[in-house]
Amino acid sequence: MKTRLSLLLLPVLLLAACAAPPPPSPPQPSAVKLDPIGRVIRARGERDQDDAMGRGIRTALLQDDSAAFKGVSVLAWDGVVLLSGAVSKPEHRRRAARIARDRDGVRVVHDGLVLAEDPGAVTYLADTGRERRIFAGLMGNDDIAGAYVVRVVNGIATLLGTTRSAADLAKASAFARDVEGIKWVVEHVEVR
């Protein structure tokens, strides 16, 4: 009886051992941390990881096809990636999003790429002057408690970050919108 039971259980155990492991769970956002006055903060090490993720994706794009992706910039925040700039073909746009999505630690990819005949034109490059102005203004504003990064391309300011309230996000967007040369603001900010 025990031998029969063992013989019956053996194939079941072998099949169970061959079963694929469960898929890994997707990356989770980091916990929201606050400074002593209640502002959202992101530690230097976490920001360094964001920068490394953005550089890694940009490098992967250029290694894949430097001509196709010369007009693409990458900004990352806590596993959220923004692709901005321009490409010349729809398949380049799809491929850029796939390359970004396939990187470890990426939770979400926001595709802000446009199609253009000359994707390397100045119009599609990051406007670092306006980015610095907006970032400094957000950091120096005691009424804004969220943590944000910004990308400005062709007069469009895109905010990434984390905040505790929709009201704070509205203040940050209004501030960015009031900077000279900004046409509109796109919000990819997590409220939590």
Residue 164, pLDDT score: 95
- Domain of residue 143: give its range: 34-191
pTM score > 0.75 for this model?
A: yes
Assess if residue 146 is contained within a domain. yes
Q: What is the per-residue pLDDT across 153-178, written as a single tens digit (0 to 9) for each?
A: 999 999 999 999 999 999 999 999 99
Assess if residue 24 is contained within a domain. no
Q: What is the per-residue pLDDT across 99-140, written as a single tens digit (0 to 9) for each?
A: 999 999 999 999 999 999 999 899 999 999 999 999 999 999
Assess if residue 2 is contained within a domain. no
In the chain, the number of structural domains is 1
Assess if residue 100 is contained within a domain. yes
> How far is it, in rounded angstroms, from Cα 125 to Cα 74?
11
Assess if residue 9 is contained within a domain. no
Q: Residues with Cβ < 8 Å from 162, sequence gap 6 or more?
A: 29, 32, 40, 42, 77, 78, 146, 147, 189, 190, 191, 192
Assess if residue 155 is contained within a domain. yes
Q: What is the per-residue pLDDT across 12-53, written as a single tens digit (0 to 9) for each?
A: 555 555 555 555 666 778 888 888 878 888 899 999 999 999
